[in-house]
Amino acid sequence: LSDWSSDVCSSDLIQMSYVLGELATEVLVAIYGQQSIEKLILEFARIDNWDEAFNKTYGITVTEFYERITPYVISQAKRFITS
């Protein structure tokens, strides 16, 4: 539990990880539909490998997905900065 108090796990970083996860999920649902999230979860439970499950579900690697959504994430971040 001592790790939770370190700078690496600050509440700001934890909150940001939730925001990024929300944005990534938003993109996946918008492109592939809500059912794809269930398919990903079931595939991950079956093979116990996140990268493989993601690739099998969406046909791209996790890294490719992150690269593709980066412009969207940046555009959303700018909305918060200018607010």
Reported as a single tens digit per residue, the pLDDT across 47-80 is 999 999 999 999 999 999 999 999 999 998 887 7
CA distance 18 to 21: 5
Instruction: Give the Cα separation of 79 and 18 in Å (integer).
Output: 17
> Model's pTM, two decimal places?
0.77
Q: Is 70 in contact with 52 (CB distance < 8 Å)?
A: no
Amino acid at 70: T
Q: CA–CA separation, 82 vs 66, rounded Å? A: 24
Q: Scan for tokens 């996790």, then name that residue.
A: 62
